[in-house]
Structure 1
Amino acid sequence: MKKLAILGSTGSIGTSTLSICESFPDRYRPIALAAGQNLDAAFEQCTKWRPQVISIATEELAAKLRQRLKEAGISSIEVVYGTAGTVRVATLPEVDFVVSAIVGVAGLEATYAAVKAGKTIGLANKECLVAAGELIMAAAKEHNVALLPIDSEHNAVHQCMRGGETREVRRIWLTASGGPFRNTPAPAFEHITPAQALKHPTWVMGQRITIDSATLMNKGFEVIEACRLFSLPPAQVRVSVHPQSTVHSMVEFIDGSILAQISVTDMRLPILYALAYPERVDATPASGLQFDLTTLSQLDFSAPDLERFPCLRLAYEAAATGGEACIALNAADEIAVAAFLEGHISFLGIPRTIEKVLQQTSGRHPSSIREVLEADLAARACARDVISQQFSGVLR
């Protein structure tokens, strides 16, 4: 039985992980949860799963949760809060496996602490490797920790890489749906609205990641993440637009062979793969995870247009520079996406803002998580200044 800590237990990856625990109760048990600000969901998870420890965002929410648990007659759960609480969840001695699914850099310190504590990590937080990949990968090597990707694309690459040695890989191919605007004429991009950009053709996701998919920045982050996870330079990580989203990624080997991973578009599958690795668990037909090959009538692949989607180009440039460039890429994108959703800048204002911030960012390589977080804050401030000066927007 693997004992799990789930960072981001009330989000989509967290709830999918709990669904896996429910389907395989003899294999996986959640004993530590980090639940963010969703008090009601945190309480429900406590009553159902009875973890040893749960962390919530603030001291005030922690007090409310303790009171609700007391009224429910539950006194065995330790309630903690804030960053220190999340670190406590991630490093609980009894935990075997940590699912890192907190969105953004908020989960960075806890994930790094879990690596240093020698925990196996199921990584669904791409910002950790984008912003602090150099530090995290070095710590993972030092402490002999396995980082198992949960993002569907990197999970697919991980599966395909089992077909050969790293030295035998010519390149890896990350597939992208292309988002809602893959066929939109370039002149129309200036007039794209938030409502249009939030209509993803394949996946149901949070607002930021949906906008990032529309700009292809999400794919850019995945390029950086792939470089870290698989020790490859940016030139060996390619992107292919694949509207069907059936082939999740591919690995091309030096003999010309290409291995592709095909499965349903359900995040429970990569989560289960990571939890079970190096085994594979039998997913019955009732699970809904089996793929019907008769539905494979057409598979299309094409190169992304870097002129229409400059965010992907900026990500490749940041990947080549590394260090603070990757931190700034992520931070500026988060601020710019928020500004777009609030109507302060246009859709193309997102890459324009990011490019301006990158131009003002040094190529330094932080030597600690504290320096990463400082660079993150500086890049966010720079992005707000760029938006204020260039677009006359006022951010809330």
Structure 2
Amino acid sequence: MKQIAILGSTGSIGQSTLSIIEKYPGRFAVASLAAGRNVEAAFEQCRRWRPQVVSMATAELADELAKRLSAEGVTGVEAVYGTEGTIRVATLPQVDFVVSAIVGVSGLEATYAAVKAGKTIGLANKEAMVAAGEILTAAAREAGVPLLPIDSEHNAVHQCMRAGTRDEIRRIWLTASGGPFRNLPLEEFSKITVEQALKHPTWVMGRRITIDSATMLNKGLEIIEACRLFNLPPSAVKVTVHPQSTVHSLVEYVDGSILAQISVTDMRLPILYAMSYPERVESDLTFDMAALGHLDFSPPDFERFPCLRLAYEAAEKGGAHSIALNAADEVAVDAFLERVIPFSSIPRTIEEVLENTSECHPATIPEVLALDRQARETAATVVRQLASRDRNSNVSA
């Protein structure tokens, strides 16, 4: 039986992982959880799953959780907190598999520590690979542990790659729904509202990733992640717009064969695949073949989605530029969600930050985090400048 640690247990991936564990009690068990700030959800998960260790964001939240557990008579659960707590969750001796699903770079140190400890990693956090992919993959090779993608597109690529060797692959194709604005006139982009941007046509996701899908920056991050995971140059990672979202990715081999992975749009399937690898486990996640009646594929519009162009440029340079791309996007998306800047200023923020980023390749996780903080500070300055320009423009108008 595999003992599972979940980093980000109260988020959508974490909850889906727990539903898989519940469905396969003879295969998987909960060893530890990192639950962030949601004490209520963490309390319910501890009461249901009785992990050995649960980590909260702060000491106050861990203390609150411990008191609630004690009052309820739940024993044997140790409440810890912060980065050290999350590392503890990820590196418990009995843990076999770590689901890395904390949004952003917050879970990077714990993911790295888990790799160094020889744990198999299920990566649902693309930001970790974008910011520190070179470091994580090198550590995984040294430790002899796999990094198994849970992100649906990379999970699909991983499945298709089992049909041949790395040298037999010509390129991979990541599919993108195109988001809610693939047909919106360009002149309307500056008027896009938060509510419109949060209406993804296919997937139900968190707020940041939904906005990233609308700008296609999410697909840009996936390009960088694919380069790191599968050791491919950016030129061998292509994007195709596929509104139906039934084909999750494709792998093209040197003989001209193209293999596609098709399944329901349900994150439980890639989670189950990663947790069961190299086995395939029977599930009830069946696909309705009638959905293949009509499939569309088209090249992405780089003018409509400049974030995709910026991502390819960052992928080519790597290092600090990949870190800055992700950090600047997080700051810009938060500013958009708070209605500080318009939708069209998200790529403008990212581009200005990248223009002010020097070329360097960090060798350690602390160096990655330092570059991340620096890029966020630059992005915050750019956001203030853009917001001021917009205000002045509106006053003049």
Report the TM-score, using the length of structure 2 for normalisation: 0.97
Tell me, yes or no, if structure 1 residue 317 matches structure 2 residue 313: yes
1:307 to 2:307 alignment: no
The residue identity in structure 2 corresponding to 1:350 is I
Q: How does 1:41-190 map to 2 (within 5 A)?
A: 41-190=41-190
Farther-moved stretch of structure 1 (335-344 vs 257-266): 335-344
Task: Tell me what 2:353 maps to.
Answer: 357
Given that 1:345 and 1:393 are in contact with CA atoms closer than 8 Å, whether structure 2 keeps it comes out as no
* Structure 1 residue 299: Cα displacement: 0.5
Identical aligned pairs, as a percentage? 70
Partner of 1:198: 198
Q: Which residue of 1 aligns with 2:335?
A: 339
- Give the corresponding residue for 1:371: 367
Give the Cα–Cα distance (whole angstroms) in 2 for the partners of residues 115 and 190 of structure 1.
43
Match of 1:23 in 2: 23
Partner secondary structure for residue 315 of structure 1: helix
Q: Distance in 2 between matches of 1:185 and 1:69?
A: 54
Following superposition, the deviation at residue 393 of structure 1 comes to 7.7
Counterpart in the other structure of 1:290 = 286
Find the aligned partners of 1:294 and 1:214 in 2 and give their Cα distance: 27
DSSP-derived class of the 1:333 partner: helix
Distance 2:34 2:238 in 1: 34
Say if 1:324 and 1:365, in contact at 8 Å, map to a contact too. yes
Q: Shift in Å at residue 331 of structure 1?
A: 0.4
| Unpaired runs of at least 5, structure 1 | none
Which residue of structure 2 lines up, in the alignment, with residue 40 of structure 1? 40
Offset of 1:240 from its aligned partner? 0.3
Change (3 A) 1:136 1:393: farther
Q: Deviations over 1:27-58 (max 9, x none)?
A: 00011000000000000000100011111111
CA 1:96 to 1:393, structure 2 compared with 1: closer, same or farther past 3 Å? Answer: farther
Please give the secondary structure, in 1, of the residue aligned with 2:5.
strand
Q: Is the 8 Å Cα contact of residues 246 and 264 (structure 1) preserved in structure 2? A: yes
Aligned residue for 2:105, secondary structure, equals: helix
Instruction: Write out aligned runs for 1:240-319 (5 A).
Output: 240-283=240-283, 287=284, 289-319=285-315
Query: Does the Cα contact within 8 Å between 1:344 and 1:393 map onto a contact in 2?
Result: no
DSSP 3-state at the match of 2:36: coil
Which SS does the other structure have where 1:104 is aligned? coil
Q: Which runs of 4+ in 1 moved over 4 A?
A: none
Encode CA deviations 1:182-236: one digit per residue, 9 max, x unaligned.
Answer: 0111111111111111110001111110000000000000000000000000000
Deviations 1:108-147 (A, max 9, x none): 0000000000000000000000001111011011111100
In 2, distance between residues paired with 1:275 and 1:320? Answer: 32
Displacement after TM superposition at 1:346 (Å):
1.4
Would you say 1:328 and 2:321 are equivalent positions?
Answer: no
Deviation readout 1:242-295 (Å, 9 max, x if unpaired): 000000000000000000000000000000000000000011xxx3x1011123
Q: 1:273 to 1:393 in 2, by over 3 A?
A: farther
Q: TM-score, normalising length from structure 1?
A: 0.97
**Counterparts of 2:380 and 2:5 in 1: how far apart (Å)?**
35
Q: Distance in 2 between matches of 1:340 and 1:73?
A: 44
Pair 1:61–1:236, CA change in 2 (3 A): same
- Which residue identity does 1:214 align to in structure 2? A
CA contact (8 A) 1:244 1:300 kept: yes
Matched AA of 1:193: T
The answer for unaligned runs of 5 or more in structure 2 is: 391-397
Contact kept? 2:9, 2:34, Cα under 8 Å: yes
1:48-80 deviation digits (Å, cap 9, x = unpaired): 000111111110011111111111112211110
Aligned residues: 390
Counterpart-to-counterpart distance in 1, 2:129 and 2:233: 15
Letter paired with 1:357: V
Distance 1:387 1:80 in 2: 35
